[in-house]
């Protein structure tokens, strides 16, 4: 079967699964979203143009039965940068201009909130996790996460991130791997060290085992009956809470004040309950894995397809090594300062996030009637800024499909590059993600070569954009010159 057929089959499978889940999604959105209120005011602004599709189903199948980029592009071409639709049982307004995205994410932070996930997802990750919140509690959690993941807090973490990267690379040598799965493992290990430090090794393996079980049931039908994936996941979630509680208790008994995320959450003046800490720890693990792993997978693919860019990255990383050798001291371990001498590699990361657009869009929800561009965004409707459309607009980035890191030598136009979102709900862990990517790329480019296993070059969406089949590759250690 060729790659096009494989992608088509994946989307058909997604559509079939969606058909199973749709009644539950429709019920949730019907209960949580209010329809546009009727008004007798003659001057009330109209809804944006667009089509709502069939009752309840809306245009869900049109979106998920094909490449979603096709759906967005056709809608934008027909209706313009703001249009209405109905997906997953919810009335939605999609916006695809930088100005509209800013309006939704930044300019009016009190007029919209994160779209509610299925109740089952809140139960699985934890209802008090940061991405289910808004207002003062969300701001407080965000401050605590930033305190643990901002540059001042992560400077000293470079050596142990490097150790995790080297162990991962050594395990790939001479064999075919699923790149995305291996990158998930790498990102998972970095996340656990960032959250718990290096003193909780005895509990980490048990925690990993439980988390893998939880993850398998994350997108399963929410039927909590023994034997189902959902039931196994909920049981694993309960065990995860117990493991985190045990770690918290141990740290209190030892009177340890860690500079990791757990330490930030545990400060007495913050007065978070153990349940709040556990929900947010598990939520951060979930958020830290797939997105970072997706970016790394695409970087490896793009470097393999662009030899001149790979050569430039390799030369920059080898120059970092030469400068360390010239400085003397004999210590080859990477430092924070070394990662600041990688401007071209950093631009490769930026361009990867633009072209791949891991998060094609995000869900927000209007908490009051809002007017934008002469149109009404009704209270309770979902609002989706389309990041991929913005990143792939020729008005924002000339030749948008071309992989060209040099375009980031100058800052992009305002609100045209939002790989981590924007506003109060932008990703608070983006600095740590950039750091772990740079560290891995340093050793990958200078010590390893890789080749594509097979000929499939398609893209799959579920929910992140990924190279087909997780990008199977064969890695090998470079021989000494």
Cα–Cα distance list, 70 to 66, 76, 236, 309 (Å): 7, 10, 38, 29
Q: What span, in angstroms and rounded, lies between the C-alpha atoms of 190 and 187? A: 5
Helix (H, G, I), strand (E, B) or coil at 175: coil
Q: What span, in angstroms and rounded, lies between the C-alpha atoms of 310 and 449? A: 10
What would the two tokens of residue 208 be? 């990993």
Strand partners, 361: 386
> What is the SS3 assignment for the chain?
CCHHHHHHHHHHHHHHHHHHHHHHHHHHHHHHCCCCCCCCCCCCCCCCCECCCECCCECHHHHHCCCHHHHHHHHHHHHCCEEEEEECCEEEEEECCHHHHHHHHHHCCCCEEECCCCHHHHHHHCCCCHHHCCHHHHHHHHHHHHHHHCHHHHHHHHHHHHHHHHHHHHHHECCEEEHHHHHHHHHHHHHHHHHHCCCCHHHHHHHHHHHHHHHHCCCCCCCCCCCCHHHHHHHHHHHHHHHHHHHHHHHHHHCCCCCCHHHHHHCHHHCCCHHHHHHHHHHHHHHHHHHHHHHHHHHHHHHHHCHHHHHHHHHHHHHHHHHHHHHCCCCCCCCHHHHCCCHHHHHHHHHHHHHHCCCCECCEEECCCEEECCEEECCCCEEEEEHHHHHCCCCCCCCCCCCCHHHHHCCCCCCCCCECECHHHCCCCHHHHHHHHHHHHHHHHHHEEEEECCCCCCEEECCCEEEHHHCEEEEEECCCC
90 is in an annotated binding site: no
- 452: Cα separation from own chain's centroid: 25
Q: What span, in angstroms and rounded, lies between the C-alpha atoms of 313 and 449? A: 13
Largest CA distance in the chain: 80
Q: Are strands 465-467 and 459-461 parallel, antiparallel or unpaired?
A: antiparallel
Q: What would you report as the CA-atom Rg of the chain, rounded to the nearest whole angstrom?
A: 23
What residues form the annotated binding site for heme? Answer: 427
Residue list for the binding site: 427
């Amino acid at each position: 079967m060729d790659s096009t057929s494989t992608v088509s089959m994946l989307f058909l499978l997604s559509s079939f699964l969606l058909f199973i889940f749709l009644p539950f999604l429709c019920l949730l959105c019907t209960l949580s979203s209010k329809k546009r209120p009727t008004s007798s005011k003659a001057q009330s602004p109209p809804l944006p143009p667009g089509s709502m599709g069939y009752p309840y189903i809306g245009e869900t199948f049109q979106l998920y039965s094909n490449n979603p980029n096709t759906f967005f592009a056709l809608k934008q071409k027909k209706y313009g940068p703001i249009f209405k639709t109905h997906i997953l049982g919810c009335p939605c307004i999609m916006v695809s201009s930088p100005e509209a995205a800013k309006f939704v994410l930044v300019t009016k932070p009190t007029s919209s909130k994160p779209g509610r996930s299925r109740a089952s997802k809140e139960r699985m990750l934890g209802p008090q996790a940061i991405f289910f919140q808004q207002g003062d509690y969300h701001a407080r959690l965000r401050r605590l996460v930033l305190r643990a993941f901002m540059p001042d807090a992560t400077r000293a973490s470079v050596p142990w991130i490097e150790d995790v990267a080297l162990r991962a690379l050594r395990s790939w040598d001479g064999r075919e791997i699923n790149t995305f799965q291996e990158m998930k493992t790498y990102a998972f290990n970095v996340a656990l060290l960032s959250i718990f430090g290096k003193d909780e090794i005895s509990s980490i393996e048990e925690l990993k085992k439980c988390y893998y079980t939880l993850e398998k049931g994350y997108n399963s039908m929410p039927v909590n009956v023994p034997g189902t994936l959902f039931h196994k996941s909920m049981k694993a979630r309960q065990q995860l809470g117990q493991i985190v509680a045990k770690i918290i208790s141990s740290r209190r008994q030892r009177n340890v004040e860690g500079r990791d995320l757990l330490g930030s959450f545990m400060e007495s003046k913050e007065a978070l309950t153990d349940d709040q800490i556990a929900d947010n720890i598990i939520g951060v693990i979930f958020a830290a894995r797939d997105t970072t792993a997706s970016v790394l997978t695409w970087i490896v693919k793009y470097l393999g397809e662009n030899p001149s860019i790979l050569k430039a990255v390799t030369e920059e990383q080898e120059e970092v090594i030469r400068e360390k050798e010239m400085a003397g001291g004999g210590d080859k371990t990477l430092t924070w300062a070394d990662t600041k001498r990688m401007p071209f590699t950093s631009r490769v990361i930026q361009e990867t996030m633009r072209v791949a657009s891991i998060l094609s869009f995000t869900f927000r929800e209007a908490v009051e009637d809002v007017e934008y561009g002469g149109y009404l965004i009704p209270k309770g409707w979902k609002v989706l800024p389309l990041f991929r459309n913005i990143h792939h607009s020729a008005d924002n980035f000339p030749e948008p499909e071309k992989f060209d890191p040099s375009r980031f030598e100058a800052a992009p136009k305002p609100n045209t590059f939002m790989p981590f979102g924007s506003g109060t709900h932008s990703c608070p862990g983006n600095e740590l993600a950039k750091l772990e990517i740079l560290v891995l790329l340093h050793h990958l480019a200078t010590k390893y070569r890789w080749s594509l296993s097979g000929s499939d070059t398609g893209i799959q969406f579920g929910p992140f954009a990924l190279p087909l089949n997780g990008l199977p590759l064969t890695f090998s250690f470079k021989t000494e010159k």
